[in-house]
Amino acid sequence: MLSYKEKTVTLSNLERKIIENSIRDIKDFPKPGILFKDITTLLNDKEAYGVLMNHLYQRYKEYNLDYIAGIDARGFIFGAALAQMLGIGFVPIRKKGKLPYTTISEKYSLEYGFDEIEVHLDAFSKIPNARVLLIDDLIATGGTANAAAKLINQTGASCVEACFILNLTFCGGSEKLQEITPIYYLIEVE
């Protein structure tokens, strides 16, 4: 069996086109000058969502993962579905104050200040040295993803890779995150 670093599963040109065509651009949202990538149209397109989830399953079925951690809130959509397909657990990484049990948290900077995310202290404790895939819909500046990867590692688990549907390369977040964990994305937006 190939290790996760040796196995490469890529999208075909047709699969990439199906996924790209299902993502809607919204101009000037949430403020003027922003081109928002709306994934709700991908989610309600059964062919595109099926292509996406099948691709993720094929990529990660040989990674020997123990958990998938999804970032609040769109990472929950992809992460929980993929965890079920792989037969492993799902862990939500949430905004501060949303989890009911003892948590650890990590602050990160935004263009206008700071925010904070958290995870349950025992989220990965059932499996020693758990191997965790971090997932979200996109990476932009990377603040949230960096904080999430750090949280996973602080629990004693290992963030083996971070996965995103979109990489907004002009924001530079993927370069920063690669200092903490390998990353994989399906579509690059320049």
Please indicate whether residue 111 is annotated as part of the active site.
Answer: yes
Question: Alpha-carbon dihedral of residues 137, 143, 144, 150, nearest 10 degrees?
Answer: 120
Which two tokens mark 111? 């263009």
Dihedral sign, Cα of residue 148, residue 81, residue 14, residue 35: negative
Round to whole Å and give the CA distance between 60 and 84.
12
Does the annotation count 59 as an active-site position?
no
Please, are residues 161 and 63 in contact by the beta-carbon 8 Å criterion?
A: yes
| Active-site hit among 74, 118, 179, 190 | 74
54-92: b or e for each residue (b if 16 or more CB lie within 10 Å)?
A: ebbeebbeebebbbbbbbbebbbbbbbbbbeebebbbbb
Active-site pick, 16, 106, 111, 188: 111
Residues noted as catalytic: 74, 111
